[in-house]
Amino acid sequence: MLRTRPPGLVAAPGEQGGPFLLPPTLLRTVCQTPSMTSETITADASGTWKLGDLPVHRLGFGAMRLTGSAAFHHGTPSDRDRSIAVLRKAVELGVNHIDTAAFYFSALRSANELINTALSPYPDDLVIVTKVGPHRDYSGEWATSARPDQLRGHVEENLRQLGRDHLDVVNLRRMRQDSIAEHFGALAELREAGLIRHLGVSDVEVRHLDEALAIAPVVCVQNRWGLDSADPATGELVRVCGERGIAFVPFFAVAGDAGALGATGNHDEEVLAVARAHDAGAAQIRLAWTLHQGPHVLAIPGTGNPDHLAENVAAGAIRLTEDELTRLDALRTSAG
């Protein structure tokens, strides 16, 4: 498996100094990476970005898969000690951006509780991003999404589970409503009250982002997006976020069409060929492609497997050539 940062390379696929300060040609670094064990790679190889005033490495960690063999009620509950070990290993590998939610739980495990147990007292540089809007009842069934007046309760639930007095970043997950103004406005009030430091939005279009920005600053956008996705609207959102200095944080970048069930096993031959050229895995190439889409694009792959964790972090050191990026980009064109 791949993998080290090329000697003398200071910036990863892009480090923040403002919105798109690097020319597009420099965002796609052309170099090869000598082979080393993934254990030597840390998250700083992926570069950095700021969520508001909070610097994070561009390769983060998604907590959805901590609770079981698949997300939510799918699969079987995870081994508690192993999940705690994965979280601690992530921090050892330099991960300082963890994405979670109160509705990330299985029959026996809660992602927020696992994070609290494994990492509290929290490192000073650790940024925990959560989201509100969707709701699952105590049996795990999806229930009616939150009304604006219920969002405070959702925020407070995350605070209790994580053992925090404020949340670093809270994303409003749009639940099919045409306008997010009322919901986002309710979160903006909680930000003013000191319960939330920064706000983001999820599953939105550019018009929803504009709607939110008219109310309060937005530091990140989370949408489903990846090598398998050729949705023009999301592609436009990625571009707009870059122009405005807003982080774009795709989910299911590795899972692909498998979604909440886990990483896809359906890899195009082109992905496998690029993986062989870098002595890497297909999932690593998917992550590397994601990070090459702009310095504002972050990745939050999730896993409950410590070996997969190290491989995911190591993907931040892969440098794809222009030819490889062109070949991979063609897959998205054919997907559309």
Residue 56 pLDDT exceeds 80: yes
1's tokens = 């498996």
Fold for 24-335, please state it: TIM Barrel (3.20.20)
Return mean pLDDT, the chain.
Answer: 85
pTM: 0.86
Residue in 61, 104, 105, 252 annotated catalytic: 104
Cα separation of 250 and 301, whole Å? 9
- 198-257 pLDDT, tens digit per residue, is 999 999 999 999 999 999 999 999 999 998 877 889 999 999 999 999 999 999 888 645
- Residue among 220, 323, 310 at smallest CA distance from 1: 310
Percentage of residues of the chain with pLDDT beyond 90: 68
Q: What is residue 31's predicted lDDT score, i.e. its pLDDT? A: 37
Range 208-236 burial, b when 16+ CB lie within 10 A, else e: bbebbeebbebbbbbbbbbbbbeeeebee
- Which pLDDT band holds residue 21 (cuts at 50, 70, 90)? very low
- Predicted confidence at residue 36, as pLDDT, reads 40
Annotated catalytic, 122?
no
Mean pLDDT of all residues in 105-109: 83
Q: How far apart are CA 19 and CA 243, in angstroms?
A: 6
Residue 19: pLDDT over 50: no
Where do the domains of the chain lie? 24-335
Query: 309-334 pLDDT, tens per residue?
Result: 999 999 999 999 999 999 999 987 66
